[in-house]
Amino acid sequence: MSGGVDSSVAAHLLRKQGLDVIGVFMRHGEQAVEACATAGAESSPLLPLFQGRSDHKQGCCSASDAADARRVADRLDIPFYALNLEAEFGRIVGYFVDEYSRGRTPNPCVVCNTWLKFGKLFDYADSVGAEFVATGHYAQLTPEAGAPALRRGADRRKDQSYVLFGVARSLLARMLLPVGHFEKGQIREMAEQLGLRVAQKPDSQEICFVTSGDHGQFVQARCGDQDRGGEIVTIDGRVVGRHAGVERFTVGQRKGLGVALGEPHFVVRIDARTRQVVVGTRDSLACQELTAADCNWLVEPGWDEFRCQAQIRYNSRAADATARRLPDKRLHVTFDSPCYGVAPGQAVVCYEGDRVLGGGWIESPPESLSG
């Protein structure tokens, strides 16, 4: 329970189904005075939620979010506990800083879902004898032979199936996604009818641990005082400006480049070794194919090449493509038409209709195709 409307209504829907629900808040943005640890820790597995200072960050793990979640649990008459996952969450922060420092674009939400929400949270569920882990994600699970199928949420504007591609297939049968077949408006209406004060709470927009909203500043603060600046160059090598650090850029970015070139230019490539940010026109972003690593498959892999719809970012549309599985958990994707803004470090997720087949982490597109 994050303190938002989706997880709050999810808890209500589970109660309505007659399930025995335990509300859990994952505290990982700040150190809590009192919190419980995952199984195996010396501290008690269940301790009261710390009611500390309130802040105004619109995220999903602040003290004010915790207070909202506790109030909802009280309203629903369910037990509520906080987990201190700060140490585990430090891995996500480290991954985030390392990826940006390498000129890649991380996706901490995918990693959080894989490592924590549908990773460490299962350890906690096992420690208290819970059969399922449920969240307020807008995605659906439907029965299939072998393992349930993960599908897009009914509300396509809010669909979050993309960020769940990394969940282990063995855990699908123990997942519950109760809001996935509702529209967002229906969820807010239910919260209003229940008298929940989070009914009109804005959706989380920030990376929860970047409280300032400035991810470049966040990364630089953790990399020391060394000069991280470099050149901004065009695809033909012409120097057109300077930048303060490659971590402030992502492939496909147009705003905030700090250069005026007479027509819109976009980040086409980032070279962390030379600290060069390469910019070009939109045509320079065209990419017909990509490779991905560390793939995770949610269906029984019985094919090497297949047709699919491949999605390269959370908020992008899936595009028709042919995918080919490679050795060592790698993947090659060829798009029917060029895609724009293929960013190394983001995930490519393969769909068959609305079903998630699996996906992996984008490596650098072929040099000849990326400008």
The answer to whether the Cα torsion of 265, 267, 268, 272 is positive or negative is positive
Q: Please give the residue range of the domain that contains residue 181.
A: 5-193
Question: Which one of 264, 280, 296 terminates a domain?
Answer: 280
We report the CATH number of the domain holding residue 243 as 2.30.30.280
Number of domains in the chain: 3
Kindly tell me if the per-residue pLDDT of 333 is higher than 80: yes
- 238 is a domain residue: yes
Tell whether 184 and 263 lie within a shared domain.
Answer: no
The beta strand positions in the chain, using DSSP E, are 23-27, 80-84, 133-134, 139-142, 149-152, 175-176, 230-234, 239-243, 266-271, 276-280, 286-297, 305-311, 319-326, 330-340, 347-352, 355-362
Give pLDDT, residue 293. 97
- 246 is a domain residue: yes
Tell whether 167 and 264 lie within a shared domain.
Answer: no
Tell whether 13 and 132 lie within a shared domain.
Answer: yes
Q: Is 112 helix (H, G, I), strand (E, B) or coil?
A: helix
- 201 is a domain residue: no
Kindly tell me if the per-residue pLDDT of 307 is higher than 50: yes
Which of 370 and 272 is assigned the larger pLDDT?
272
Tell whether 143 and 267 lie within a shared domain.
Answer: no
- 37 is a domain residue: yes
We report the CATH number of the domain holding residue 325 as 2.40.30.10
- 172 is a domain residue: yes
CA 2 to CA 83: how far, in whole Å? 12
- 204 is a domain residue: no
Give pLDDT, residue 42. 34
Give pLDDT, residue 147. 87
The answer to whether the Cα torsion of 72, 184, 205, 338 is positive or negative is positive
Reported as a pLDDT band with limits 50, 70 and 90, residue 159 is very high
CA 276 to CA 296: how far, in whole Å? 32
- 176 is a domain residue: yes
**Which are the contacts of 44, defined by CB distance < 8 A and separation ≥ 6?**
36
Kindly tell me if the per-residue pLDDT of 51 is higher than 80: no
Question: Which one of 246, 265, 280 terminates a domain?
Answer: 280
Give the residue-averaged pLDDT of 333-339.
96
pLDDT in tens, 64-94: 888 999 999 999 999 999 888 888 889 999 9
The tokens describing 168, both together, are 């282990």
- 243 is a domain residue: yes
Tell me what percent of the residues of the chain surpass a pLDDT of 90: 72
**Phi, psi (degrees; rounded to nearest 5) at 118:** -120, 35
We report the CATH number of the domain holding residue 58 as 3.40.50.620
Give pLDDT, residue 52. 31
pTM here? 0.88
Give pLDDT, residue 61. 59
Kindly tell me if the per-residue pLDDT of 244 is higher than 60: yes
**Phi, psi (degrees; rounded to nearest 5) at 271:** -110, 100
Catalytic residue annotation: 112, 208
pLDDT in tens, 195-239: 999 999 988 766 777 877 788 888 888 887 777 899 999 999 999
